[in-house]
Amino acid sequence: MDEKHPISNIIVENRRRITVSGVVDVISFDEESVILDTSLGAMVLKGEEFKINKLNIEAGEFMVEGNLLSIAYDDNISKEKVGFMARLFR
């Protein structure tokens, strides 16, 4: 991946299948939200009945199925902050 021009793509199929490239890490996941660390920043997916279908961090690929309600980038999300909270509730 070119560090000067990072690549990240989002494909939404019928609001039921979401494929994201350029994924560096999965910060948080549950049935109603996914927070991804991508090459362009933190991405938040909101929805219902999410299930991860594909995760390949080495290739930067992520696919989730469920009922998608919204997608947003959030520059205020700290990976360390979310990671700490996620570890508390494991």
CATH number of the domain bearing residue 68: 2.60.40.2000
User: How many structural domains comprise the chain?
Assistant: 1
The answer to whether residue 25 sits within a structural domain is yes
| Residue 54 falls inside a structural domain | yes
5 part of a folded domain = no
pLDDT (0 to 100) of residue 76: 86
Q: Does any domain span residue 1? A: no
Domain of 22 in residue numbering reads as 10-88
Beta-carbon contacts of 47 under 8 Å, excluding residues fewer than 6 positions away, are 32, 33, 66, 67, 68, 69, 70
Q: Is residue 3 part of a domain?
A: no
Contacts of 2 (CB under 8 A, 6+ apart): none
Q: Per-residue confidence of the chain (90 residues) as pLDDT tens digits?
A: 455 657 889 999 999 999 999 999 999 999 999 999 999 999 999 999 999 999 999 999 999 999 999 999 998 886 655 554 444 444
DSSP string computed for 17-42? EEEEESEEEEEEE-SSEEEEEETTEE
